[in-house]
């Protein structure tokens, strides 16, 4: 469907209003001016009639033998000077003594509107048809010295002349109206162009569609998005941003600095340069901010900020890292068994059958002991997979990885996922590997049980132990006692966070030669029991 453009709407509206106003005003002023001209002509005619009726020459002429000979020249002279259509002087019997047409002198006056002046002595304005046509007349009686009515004066202006005057004035008004109409059309055109420039050439329906699309995009993305103007006043914020910043009420028209630390944002508003991947600590969360300025006429008019929860990103990275470690542990196990197969193959090729048999029996006895515990006593496949990977890594690193023969574990509850177990057991066991790396006879012990309401994992090592002043810091993110350029200090922190999410607890007891990490995971989560 074809849509009417904004420019057409504005032009149509302004033109319609202008024409309507011009028509109404022209009609009103024409009516008022016509009425005013008619009143002015009537008043002028009446005043002239009164003046002529009171002239001594005119009054005395009625006593002469030839009144018309005296009155006609005087009446004609006055008529020509004032521009009246006629000045008629008649006697009490309405016989004319003067007229613009001399042949009409001596005849009866026409119009039938003289009675009030002749019989009642009144002066007034009337409108009637005479010998010259429809006219506006001023009537005044003529009194003699004794006060008797002896005649009448009638001064008239043709209505046609009054109308011509009105039309002459109306043509001027129409000219002004046309000029006003042209100005209004030009003004509306310039206004429409200005509006289109302000709206980037978009029509209103296009702006409405963009607004709806913007809202849909704004609230569909997972990232938090915030838009502010030049002064840092919030113009829009999507729900993920409110959730991330723990904001529940409406924030429109509030200063962004009143809600959270906004140093980076104000720097962008001042400099006009974007800031990328800046970290902000807020409400126990690490938030990554990206600030991008908005330009209008080469000046910063605002900025858009996007938020991401670094904690979630770190968890995802750590989970992928742990899966990678788990994969590497399996590779180490495969590598170790491959080496043993090569050794066995070499012994058989050299004819050392007794040594080969001893090696097989030794490996078989060890594997049978381990497999009996791993596959018969620990029945959860997730824990089995982690232990097998760590056994391979221990074999490669020449570390004695012992699984307590008293360990027993049924399948874990569904809410304990592989990713969480990998974070917890993988990091604690890896920490034990690091602790015994410098020992001559490194030993790591693993114990697991699900007796009671909790699932218990215990990992001990014979490393040098943890200093007492460091015990309270080992679960803090970024803390490490290692030296080197490779970033560390996140493994135990990730394990502790995963345990807390499962509503569990980690205990640490350490002394030189014996460090024990004990993990308690409830079989049921409180949130699920209460649900």
Domains of the chain: which residue ranges? 6-165, 223-310, 352-530
| Cα–chain center distance at 136 | 69
| DSSP single-letter state for residue 151 | E
* Rounded (10°) angle between helices 381-397 and 427-435: 20
Residue 329 contacts residue 393 (beta carbons within 8 Å): yes
Which CATH number does 352-530 carry? Answer: 3.30.565.10
Q: What is the pLDDT of residue 270?
A: 84
- DSSP 3-state percent helix, strand, coil across the chain (nearest 5): 50, 20, 25
Q: What is the pLDDT of residue 428?
A: 92
Q: What is the pLDDT of residue 323?
A: 64
Q: What is the pLDDT of residue 153?
A: 92
* CATH class assigned to 6-165: alpha beta
Q: What is the pLDDT of residue 484?
A: 47
Evaluate whether the domain defined by 223-310 bears CATH number 3.30.450.20: yes
Q: What is the mean pLDDT of each run of 10 residues along the chain (531 residues)?
A: 68 80 79 75 86 89 88 90 87 89 87 85 82 76 89 84 69 77 81 75 71 67 80 80 74 76 79 80 72 84 81 62 61 67 77 73 62 83 85 82 90 86 89 89 93 92 86 76 53 86 90 92 69 39
Domains 223-310 and 352-530 agree in fold: no
Residues 61, 65, 93: CA angle, nearest 5 degrees: 70
Q: What is the pLDDT of residue 366?
A: 58
DSSP 9-37: HHHHHHHHHHHHHHHHHHHHHHHHHHHHH
Largest Cα span, the chain: 183
Nearest to 459 by CA among 433, 494, 487, 493: 433
Q: What is the pLDDT of residue 368?
A: 61
Q: What is the pLDDT of residue 27?
A: 79
């Amino acid at each position: 469907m074809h849509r009417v453009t904004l420019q057409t709407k504005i032009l149509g509206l302004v033109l319609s209003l202008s024409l309507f106003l011009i028509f109404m005003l022209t009609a009103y002023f024409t009516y008022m001016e016509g009425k005013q001209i008619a009143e002015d002509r009537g008043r002028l005619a009446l005043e002239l009639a009164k003046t002529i009726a009171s002239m001594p020459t005119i009054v005395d002429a009625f006593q002469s033998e030839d009144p018309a000979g005296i009155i006609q020249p005087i009446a004609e002279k006055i008529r020509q000077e004032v521009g009246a259509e006629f000045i008629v002087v008649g006697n009490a019997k309405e016989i004319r003594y003067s007229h613009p047409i001399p042949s009409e002198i001596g005849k009866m006056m026409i119009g039938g509107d003289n009675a009030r002046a002749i019989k009642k002595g009144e002066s007034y304005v009337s409108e009637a048809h005479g010998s010259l046509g429809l006219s506006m007349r001023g009537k005044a009686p003529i009194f003699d010295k004794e006060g008797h009515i002896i005649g009448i004066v009638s001064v008239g202006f043709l209505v046609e002349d009054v109308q011509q005057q009105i039309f002459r004035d109306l043509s001027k008004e129409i000219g002004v109206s046309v000029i006003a109409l042209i100005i209004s059309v030009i003004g509306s055109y310039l206004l429409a162009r200005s509006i289109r420039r302000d709206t980037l050439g978009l029509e209103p329906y296009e702006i409405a569609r963009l607004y709806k699309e913007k809202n849909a995009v704004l609230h569909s993305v997972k990232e938090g998005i915030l838009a502010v103007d030049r002064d840092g006043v919030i113009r829009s914020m999507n729900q993920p941003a409110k959730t991330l910043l723990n904001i529940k009420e409406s924030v429109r028209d509030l200063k962004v600095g009143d809600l959270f630390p906004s140093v980076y944002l104000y720097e962008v508003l001042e400099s006009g340069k974007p800031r990328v991947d800046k970290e902000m600590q807020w409400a126990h969360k690490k938030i990554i901010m990206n600030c991008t300025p908005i330009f209008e006429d080469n000046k910063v008019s605002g900025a858009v900020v996007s938020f991401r929860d670094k904690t979630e990103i770190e968890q995802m990275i750590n989970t992928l890292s742990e899966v990678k470690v788990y994969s590497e542990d399996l590779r180490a196990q495969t590598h170790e068994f491959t080496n043993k197969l090569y050794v066995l193959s070499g012994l058989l090729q050299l004819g050392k059958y007794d040594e080969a048999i001893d090696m097989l029996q030794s490996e078989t006895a060890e594997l049978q002991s381990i497999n009996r515990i791993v596959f018969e006593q620990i029945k959860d496949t997730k824990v089995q997979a982690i232990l097998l990977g760590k056994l391979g890594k221990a074999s490669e690193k020449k570390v004695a990885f012992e699984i307590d023969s008293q360990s027993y574990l049924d399948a874990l509850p569904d809410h304990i996922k592989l990713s969480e177990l990998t974070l917890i057991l993988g990091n604690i066991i890896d920490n034990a590997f690091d602790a015994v790396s410098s020992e001559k006879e490194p030993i790591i012990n693993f114990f697991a049980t699900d007796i009671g309401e909790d699932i218990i994992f215990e990992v001990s090592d014979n490393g040098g132990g943890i200093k007492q002043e460091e015990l309270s810091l080992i679960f803090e993110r970024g803390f490490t006692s290692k030296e080197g350029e490779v970033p560390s200090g996140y493994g135990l922190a990730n394990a502790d966070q995963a345990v807390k999410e499962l509503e569990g607890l980690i205990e640490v007891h350490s002394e030189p030669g014996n460090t024990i990490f004990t993990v308690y995971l409830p079989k049921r989560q409180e949130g699920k029991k209460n649900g």
